[in-house]
């Protein structure tokens, strides 16, 4: 019976974490470039139960022969194995603002490959984002909507001194006769990136940086100025998944209550001394 407690509780915890993930997705359904998270559920390893006994033979020495009989398998519950982002391309939304840019995936040499804008976080470390909702700060530098500096191909900040500039499809900022290529990073396996908050991704190991996408001729992309990549969250499907997670949580909760009532009878009624 105690195993039933643990199995039902594990199901409730797993569905709660799934609900939290889905809630975060629906909250960011309108965030440009947001990549929805997916929670992978997995069952705990199954246990094989066998009965171990012995049989006494009617001999002069009363010989005991050990015997085993298989009863079956038992599962001890479910858990959230990992939460991974879905890097599928989002749609495009025209804004008419010159500082807005949308990355559009082209050909990727790797199945899980993806491209990102390169920025710096508050500590000056390189980070990566798909949110092209940029602006110009008071010093004339191109920054993200969270204040992160946008980098060029040489790893330097980009000074535009205003919002009047053009961006080519190849990702080059044309400014007063000067061509400044934007830093577009390529990851051969985007699933290895870790979300850091504020629409940023980083590599799992500190000190490493992604390569420039232009170094690989098999990687193609375009940048659409005055457009934003929308979130790839399907709001209708996410609401359906949230309701399903809630129902699963509720069912496990009812099972836990049933075990609690049975335990109450076993302790307070069946085992009562009269």
Q: Any bridge partners for residue 27, and if so which?
A: none
Structure tokens at 75: 């599962």
CB atoms within 10 A of CB 8: 21
- Mean residue pLDDT of the chain comes to 88
List, for residues 172-190, the tens digit of each pLDDT value.
999 888 899 999 999 999 9
Strand ranges (DSSP E) for the chain? 37-43, 47-56, 64-74, 78-85, 92-94, 101-105, 114-120, 126-129, 134-136, 142-144, 166-167, 172-175, 178-181, 184-187, 193-197, 200-203, 211-212, 221-225, 227-229
Q: Is the pLDDT of residue 166 over 80?
A: yes
The model carries a pTM of 0.80
- pLDDT in the model for residue 73: 67
First CA to last CA distance, the chain: 25
Least trusted range by pLDDT, from 2-11, 21-30, 198-207, 246-255:
2-11
For residue 274, name the pLDDT band (cuts at 50, 70, 90).
low
Q: Is the pLDDT of residue 273 over 80?
A: no
Please, are residues 187 and 113 in contact by the beta-carbon 8 Å criterion?
yes
Q: Is the pLDDT of residue 72 over 90?
A: no
For residue 207, name the pLDDT band (cuts at 50, 70, 90).
low
* Cα angle value 192/203/91 (rounded, 5°): 65
How confident is the model over 252-264, as a mean pLDDT? 86
Q: Is the pLDDT of residue 138 over 60?
A: yes
Structural domain spans, the chain:
1-86, 88-229
Q: Is the pLDDT of residue 53 over 90?
A: no
Instruction: State the maximum Cα–Cα separation within the chain, in Å, rounded to a whole number.
Output: 108
């Amino acid at each position: 019976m105690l195993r039933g407690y643990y199995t039902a509780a594990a199901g409730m915890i797993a569905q709660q974490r799934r609900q939290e993930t889905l809630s975060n997705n629906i909250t960011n359904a309108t965030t440009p470039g947001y990549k929805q998270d997916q929670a992978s559920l997995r069952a705990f390893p199954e246990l094989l139960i066998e009965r171990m006994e012995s049989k006494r033979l009617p001999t002069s020495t009363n010989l005991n022969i050990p015997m085993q009989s298989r009863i079956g398998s038992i599962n001890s519950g479910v858990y959230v194995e990992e939460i991974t982002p879905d890097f599928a391309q989002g749609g495009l939304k025209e804004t008419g603002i010159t500082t807005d840019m949308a990355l559009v995936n082209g050909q990727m040499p790797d199945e899980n490959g993806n491209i990102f804008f390169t920025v710096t976080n508050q500590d000056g470390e390189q980070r990566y984002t798909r949110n092209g909702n940029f602006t110009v700060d008071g010093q004339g530098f191109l920054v993200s909507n969270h204040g992160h500096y946008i980098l060029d191909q040489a790893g330097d900040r980009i000074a535009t001194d205003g919002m009047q500039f053009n961006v080519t499809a190849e990702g080059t900022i044309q400014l007063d006769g000067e061509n400044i290529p934007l830093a577009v990073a390529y990851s051969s396996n985007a699933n290895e990136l870790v979300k850091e908050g504020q629409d940023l991704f980083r590599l799992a190991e500190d000190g490493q940086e992604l390569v420039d996408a232009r170094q690989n001729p098999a990687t193609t992309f375009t940048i659409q100025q005055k457009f934003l990549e929308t979130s790839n969250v399907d709001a209708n499907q996410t609401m359906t998944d949230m309701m399903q997670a809630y129902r699963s949580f509720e069912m496990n909760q009812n099972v836990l209550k049933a075990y609690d009532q049975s335990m109450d009878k076993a302790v307070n009624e069946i085992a009562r001394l009269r």
